[in-house]
Amino acid sequence: MRHELRPEDIEVFSEAITHFFNTCTGETANVRSAYLIEHGPAVLWNDFNGLIEISGAYTGSVCFSAPRALLSHVLLKMGESVFTDDRHADIVGEIANTLSGRARRHFGEGLSIAPPRLLNYGEQSLPNISGNLPYAIPLGWHGYEASLVVQLAPGP
Amino acid sequence: MSLHNILSMMIVDDSMIIRNRIARLVAGPTLPHINIAGLAANGEMAVELARDSRPDLITMDLTMPLLDGEACIERIIDFLPETKILVVSALADKATALRAIKKGASGFLHKPFTDEELLDSLLELID
């Protein structure tokens, strides 16, 4: 399997995470070094996983995976007062969408982004769309742990 | 657009969190009184709602199911050429913003946005 993303490609997503938390919560997330998931599928272990499928000049996916408590706290910071499963599913998808959209500054409009969808419990791992190994970007915020999993390759 | 008229506004976004957030900010003290004419979760719903409610202002997401924001702008501007549309989207490349403006949008705000950024963008639109 290939892993063709360059460090500057990954940095775009790390910067997008930092920008999102600073802008929407006023508080900085601790975005740690990205690592390649070399063995086995990209298993998601968090309560909510928002997936964006990528097409166009690139193929792959971007998935934001977070525990309920982190998302509840983000909802609170954004002024929400309702904390149902639907709202958590909505915000995890919106975060995945916002991070992917910001990456178009770097990748250009050829990075086509589908509306977000929620990975349910039946889907234990990310679909390997791109044929590339995925990268995980772990982050900490308010003591919660989450991650962004990116798999991306030039399109067909 | 005069600040003395009561304006109506439609909010279009597939995220309920974003629709609610924009509606809360619009209802706050910074802007002149604006009636929320409707909320739409996709482009098709937005076109239908725009025909019925004929809003003065629209905030418009781009990445949406059924009908995307760009197509939605084209259709709405066709029958409501005076309506001011503020695109509120995560799509951060310049080409997308330029295309939206060419299709009839009056402004573009990138997600994620602060409360102040949204209010400033709306104030610019209604000035």
Structure tokens at A21: 């938390």
A127 domain-assigned: yes
Say if the Cβ atoms of B16 and A101 lie within 8 Å.
no
Maximal C-alpha separation, chain A: 45
Say if the Cβ atoms of A109 and B95 lie within 8 Å.
yes
Closest by CA position to B99, among listed B70, B122, B79, B75:
B70
Average pLDDT of chain A?
88
Of B24, B91, B112, the CB nearest to A24: B112
Average pLDDT of chain B?
93
- Residue-wise pLDDT for A69-114, tens only, equals 999 999 999 999 999 999 999 999 999 999 999 999 999 999 999 9
> Which domain range does residue A63 map to?
7-151
Which pTM value belongs to this model?
A: 0.92
Domain ranges (residues) in chain B:
7-126
Say if the Cβ atoms of A115 and B65 lie within 8 Å.
yes
d(CA A138, CA A8): 17
Chain B interface test: which of A109, A112, A113 (most B C-beta within 10 Å)? A109
User: Kind and range of the H or E element at A137?
Assistant: strand A135-141
pLDDT tier, A133 (very low <50, low <70, confident <90, very high otherwise): confident
A70 domain-assigned: yes
pLDDT of residue A15: 96
- Residue-wise pLDDT for B99-123, tens only, equals 999 999 999 999 999 999 999 999 9
Closest by CA position to B123, among listed B34, B24, B36:
B34
pLDDT of residue A20: 97
- In words, the CATH class of domain B7-126 is alpha beta
Q: What is the mean pLDDT of residues B67-91?
A: 95
User: Kind and range of the H or E element at B7?
Assistant: strand B7-12
Q: What is the mean pLDDT of residues A33-48?
A: 77
Query: Quick check: A126 pLDDT over 90?
Result: no
d(CA A139, CA A49): 15
Between chain A and chain B, how many beta carbons pairs sit less than 8 Å apart?
A: 68
The DSSP line for A67-131 is -HHHHHHHHHHTT-----HHHHHHHHHHHHHHHHHHTHHHH-TTEEEPPPEEE-TT--B----SS
A34 domain-assigned: yes
Say if the Cβ atoms of A90 and B15 lie within 8 Å.
yes
Cβ neighbours around A81 below 10 Å, total: 8
Q: Report percent pLDDT > 70 for chain B.
A: 97
Of B64, B93, B112, the CB nearest to A105: B93
- Counting the structural domains of chain A, the total is 1
Distance from CA of A39 to the nearest CA of B (A): 32
A156 domain-assigned: no
- Which region among A34-38, A110-114, A144-148, B98-102 has the lowest average model confidence (pLDDT)? A34-38
The CATH number that applies at residue A124 is: 3.40.1550.10
Residue of A nearest to B112 (CA): A20
Say if the Cβ atoms of A105 and B92 lie within 8 Å.
yes
- φ, ψ for residue B85 (rounded to 5)? -115, 120
d(CA B58, CA B54): 10
